[in-house]
Amino acid sequence: MISVKNLSKSYDRISYAVDDISFNVNPGEILILAGESGCGKTTTLKMINRLIEPSSGEIIVNDVNILDLNPVELRRRIGYVFQEIGLFPHMTISENVGIVPKLLGWSRANIKARVDELMELTGLDPDKYAQKMPSELSGGQKQRVGVARALAARPDVMLMDEPFGALDPITRSGIQDEFKNLQTELKLTVIMVTHDMMEALILADHVAIMQEGKIVVMGTPGELMSKAGDAYAERLLHAPRQQSEKLAEILKRGDKK
Ligand SMILES: Nc1ncnc2c1ncn2[C@@H]1O[C@H](COP(=O)(O)OP(=O)(O)OP(=O)(O)O)[C@@H](O)[C@H]1O
Ligand SMILES: [Mg+2]
């Protein structure tokens, strides 16, 4: 469904923020791009939504080269959740969620029905929150609004840039579970960016680990947990492996008592 071939981006014509990366994402699957700050994750995601023009390479979504689509059609097909959420501070929650349908010229009644539906779907009571401003919401609630807004025009592809960053671990784990259920139900194809290797391993069908603009390793969580085969990736995977071994040990001890 999504096919990225030899994609590169140089901002300064000297160095590459994204350096010749290629990958495929099957329909209904989640690919997670992981790697440390500045390795090119956001640049990759933004190129797929044409918020940034590639220096070279090809991006095919549903057999169509996205450079051939007009931006409005592209935004309808692809939902985007921004790093730092990016809600419009002067608009109510309901206006934020309904922005893409409004740009697409939906009727007021259709927009209202869709906004209510999405707020319920993402666990925000419309009666309580629709008329509030973003500044009146908690971090977790704002993240939900970001996801609801990205789903508004019924895209089949979602690009999500650290959608659950800046949440405490319990809220984060709850939202991860809810999102995974929603993603399965709506059969969404997702590319998600995260710093958190544990999150990547739990949510992804495939994980691509990036370093300095390149994908150094790509595989299923199971493959990466058993052997990543790259020194940098092995370093990133060390902590999740150690934690899961410790937990397994604690559980085993618990059985014997
Ligand atoms: N608009 C821009 N102009 C010039 N350089 C940029 C621009 N945006 C990003 N860069 C550079 O490109 C590189 C990759 O940035 P990118 O935002 O893709 O990283 P990232 O992996 O998303 O990092 P983070 O985890 O901190 O969000 C960085 O070195 C960054 O400084
Ligand atoms: Mg980023």
The burial of 37, by beta-carbon neighbours within 10 Å (0-12 exposed, 13-18 middle, 19 or more buried), is given as exposed
pLDDT value at position 166? 66
pLDDT value at position 74? 83
Reading the chain (257 residues) residue by residue, the pLDDT tens digits are 899 999 999 999 999 999 999 999 999 999 999 998 999 999 999 999 998 999 999 999 988 898 888 877 887 889 998 877 789 999 999 999 999 899 889 999 999 999 999 998 888 999 999 999 999 998 888 888 998 998 898 889 999 999 887 677 777 788 888 889 889 998 999 999 998 888 899 999 999 999 999 999 999 999 998 887 888 888 888 888 888 888 888 988 876 65
Residues 3-25 as b/e (b if ≥16 CB within 10 A, e otherwise) read ebeebbbeeeeeebbbbebebeb
DSSP string covering 149-163: HHHTT--SEEEEEST
CATH number of 2-221: 3.40.50.300
Ligand 2 centre distance from Cα of residue 35 (Å): 10
pLDDT value at position 67? 85
Rounded to 5 degrees, φ, ψ at 252 are -65, -45
Pocket test for ligand 1, best of 43, 83, 211, 215 (most atoms within 8 A of CB): 43
Atom of ligand 1 nearest to the CA of 12: 4
11 Cβ closer than 6 Å to some ligand 1 atom: yes
pLDDT value at position 95? 96
Give tens-digit pLDDT for 186-202.
Answer: 899 999 999 888 889 99
Nearest CA to ligand 1 atom 19: 38
Ligand 1 centre distance from Cα of residue 238 (Å): 25
Please state the domain extents for the chain. Answer: 2-221
Give tens-digit pLDDT for 33-50.
Answer: 999 899 999 999 999 999
Nearest CA to ligand 1 atom 8: 43
Q: How far apart are CA 176 and CA 108, in angstroms?
A: 32
